[in-house]
């Protein structure tokens, strides 16, 4: 299975407020921007024009990888409120 195929097996109920908040001031001193490589849902993207990481929480798979690779503590990471977020199905 290709990693992108996982999106055929999930659905979302998106909360109006993001469950992960990025501290862009902290990101400004980040040399590796590991979140942009590690997130399987490609929620993080370096924006050259704005000089910051753009973050889109809507397609988050709630895997926690970004929290692990962000060694500067720039993320306020929470699961979505009850009933919201990603839903996985087996087939
Ligand atoms: S790894 Fe952390 S500090 Fe670096 S750009 Fe991503 S969120 Fe910001
Ligand atoms: S929890 Fe996983 S899917 Fe969600 S933003 Fe972080 S790395 Fe991406």
Structural domains in the chain, sorted by start: 3-88 (3.30.70.20)
| Residue position matching structure tokens 């977020």 | 85
SS3 7: helix
pLDDT digits (tens, 9 = 90+) for 27-79: 999 999 999 999 999 999 999 898 889 999 999 999 999 999 999 999 999 99
pTM of the model: 0.92
pLDDT digits (tens, 9 = 90+) for 44-58: 999 989 888 999 999
Q: What is the C-alpha to C-alpha distance for residues 13 and 54, in angstroms, rounded to an integer?
A: 21
Instruction: Give the atom of ligand 1 at the shortest distance from the alpha carbon of 32.
Output: 4
- pLDDT of 91 reads 64
pLDDT of 1 strictly over 70: yes
Angle subtended at Cα 46 by Cα 84 and Cα 80, rounded to the nearest 5 degrees: 10
DSSP state of 55: E
Angle subtended at Cα 33 by Cα 19 and Cα 84, rounded to the nearest 5 degrees: 15
Task: Determine the residue of 15, 19, 41 to mutate for testing ligand 2's pocket, defined as the one with the most ligand atoms within 8 A of the Cβ atom.
Answer: 41
Q: What average pLDDT does this structure show over 12-36?
A: 96
- Per the document, the length of the chain is 91
């Amino acid at each position: 299975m290709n990693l992108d195929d996982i999106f055929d097996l999930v659905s979302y109920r998106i909360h109006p407020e993001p469950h992960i908040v990025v501290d862009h001031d902290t990101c400004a001193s980040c040399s590796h921007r590991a979140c942009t490589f590690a997130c399987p849902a490609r929620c993080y993207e370096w924006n050259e024009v704005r000089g910051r990481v753009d973050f889109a929480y809507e397609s988050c798979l709630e895997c926690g990888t970004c929290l692990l690779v962000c060694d500067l503590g720039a993320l306020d990471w929470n699961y979505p409120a009850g009933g919201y977020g990603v839903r996985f199905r087996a087939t």
